[in-house]
Amino acid sequence: GAVVSQHPSRVICKSGTSVKIECRSLDFQATTMFWYRQFPKQSLMLMATSNEGSKATYEQGVEKDKFLINHASLTLSTLTVTSAHPEDSSFYICSARTSGGGETQYFGPGTRLLVL
């Protein structure tokens, strides 16, 4: 299957700082990538849809000015958590959708963010 990577795998930061998470599709091009957030013992919640070359579409309740998404190329999308607070601590997972044929989302390994 298609491979999606994320970097970093885990990050610890101080409250008020910004953190950037990268999501890359390694062996295919993805015009659309998605960002999810997952709290302990809960399911994945979609945060936003990232489209290459255009603005991201955010789900209701997700602050676009706090979670900045950039999809500059067909293989890279970034999520920047600005002015992070402890309540932003979570597991962030990206996915990329293959194009052509039956569309399938492939997920990255996730990034564990801990804000102190």
Partner 1 sequence: LAKTTQPISMDSYEGQEVNITCSHNNIATNDYITWYQQFPSQGPRFIIQGYKTKVTNEVASLFIPADRKSSTLSLPRVSLSDTAVYYCLVGGALNTGRRALTFGSGTRLQVQP
Query: Which residues lie near partner 1 (CB under 8 A)?
Result: 1, 4, 6, 32, 34, 36, 43-46, 49, 51, 57, 91, 93, 95, 97, 101-110, 112
Cross-strand pairs, 86: none
- Closer to partner 1 by Cβ: residue 88 or 106: 106
CB of 23 to partner 1, least distance (A): 10
Per the listing, tokens 């900045």 go with: 68
Strand 4-7 and strand 57-58: the pairing is unpaired
| Enclosing H/E stretch for 41 | none
- Closer to partner 1 by Cβ: residue 7 or 97: 97
Q: What are phi and psi of 97, to 5 degrees?
A: -105, 130
CB of 16 to partner 1, least distance (A): 26
Cα pseudo-dihedral 73, 114, 36, 99, rounded to 10: 30
CB of 25 to partner 1, least distance (A): 13
Q: Is 66 helix (H, G, I), strand (E, B) or coil?
A: coil
- Closer to partner 1 by Cβ: residue 4 or 84: 4
CB of 104 to partner 1, least distance (A): 6
